[in-house]
Structures are given as C-alpha cells and as structure tokens.
Amino acid sequence: MLDRTAAFLDRLLAYMDTGSHWLARAGGVLILATVALVIVEILSRQLLGRSTAAATELSGYVLAISASWAFAYSLFRKAHIRIDVVYMQMPLTVRAVLDAVALATLGLFCVLVVGAAADVAWSSFAGGSRANTPLATPLWIPQGLWAVGLAWFAAAVTVLLLRVIVALVAADPRSVQRVAGSATLEEQTAAPTGEEDQ
C-alpha cells in the first residue's frame, strides 16, 4: 500500500515539477517583456520627450507575479536558501524528520499567505478596484495571477509533504533526502547548467 502511494505521489510530483518549470518559464517571458517595455520607455523619454507611464506600474506587477510563479520550481530544485551547517552533520533519519517539520511549517505559511492573497484578489474583483494610475488597471488581474502562483506553490508543498510523510512511515529516510532534503554537494555540482530540466 505504501509503495503504491509513494509511486503515485512520485508521478504527481513529476507532473507538478513539469508544470512548475513552465510557470517559471512564463515568468521569465514576462520579465523579458518588461525589459523591452522599460527600453521603450527610456527611448521614448530620450528621443520624444514623452513617457508611456506604464513601465513602472507593469514592472511591479510582473515582479510579484513572476516571483510567485517561480516558487514551486525553486522548491523542486532545492534552490531556496537553507542554513544547513548543523543539519548536514545529523544522521539521515534526523534530517528526514527535520525536512518534514520544515515542509509542514512552510505549508502552514502557505495556507496563511494563499488565503490572504485570494482574499485581496476577490475583494478587488468584487469592489471593482482599479489602480490609481493612468492605466487604471483592474487590480484583481495582477493580484489574481499572483495568487495563482502562490496557490500552485502551496499545492506543491502539500504533495511534497505527503510524499515525505509516506517515506517516514515506510522508514525510508533516503527517499526523504531525495525529494525534500537539502541538496548535497554532489547534487549541487551534478548539473550546474540546469541540464536536468531539458
């Protein structure tokens, strides 16, 4: 039973990893589009003496959206900053328990953040809130896209936590290390150019 559950969760994590990869790429495209917009803004000011008045507002939205869309990708790549000087000296079983505690704490944080983000986006939609800028952007659009990224991250944390719990119940700390443990030196140097994503 545990083996089948672990295999199902591994497949689900693989699908979520692929989805996270595409969300991160989409965030990168948004950032590149923002760079192009800023260049247009600079040229417009220098050559025409006019401002589009959009670059500052849109770049703020893009920063928040692209960051939230990349959180799950960073989680799957073990790219979040972890202070693991003491952690790496612990036995594998202790590290597995600490990984579960860390994911559970992160999951609780996600619940609070996603709830607040969804509430903000819904309030903006229900109230017809618009940005106090020349674009008068309906605020629920960037807020909703931001909340979607946070919700995807929360889902990734939840599935990863379930996989870790199954591994702990099965007394398999190596699986915990593989999916959620802090990256070892060997893992950090194995694919320095991101070739594992291709």
Q: Which two tokens mark 34?
A: 């923002």
Q: Is the separation of the CB atoms in 166 and 6 below 8 Å? A: yes
Q: In the prediction, which pLDDT does 134 show?
A: 83
The mean pLDDT of 66-89, rounded to a whole number, is: 87
Q: Which residues on adjacent β-strands are paired with residue 130? A: 138
Identity of the residue numbered 101: V
Q: In the prediction, which pLDDT does 195 show?
A: 47
Q: Which two tokens mark 106?
A: 């992160």
- Distance, in Å, from the CA atom of 120 to the CA atom of 108, rounded to the nearest integer, reads 19
197 exposure class (CB count in 10 Å sphere: 0-12, 13-18, 19+): middle
Per-residue burial over 143-176, b = 16 or more CB atoms within 10 Å of its CB, e = otherwise: bbbbbbbbbbbbbbbbbbbbbbbbbbeeebbebb
Q: What is the value of pTM for the model shown?
A: 0.87
What's the pLDDT band for 186 if we cut at 50, 70, 90? low
CA Rg value for the chain? 20
The mean pLDDT of 48-73, rounded to a whole number, is: 88
- Distance, in Å, from the CA atom of 95 to the CA atom of 181, rounded to the nearest integer, reads 7
Q: Is the separation of the CB atoms in 131 and 174 below 8 Å? A: no
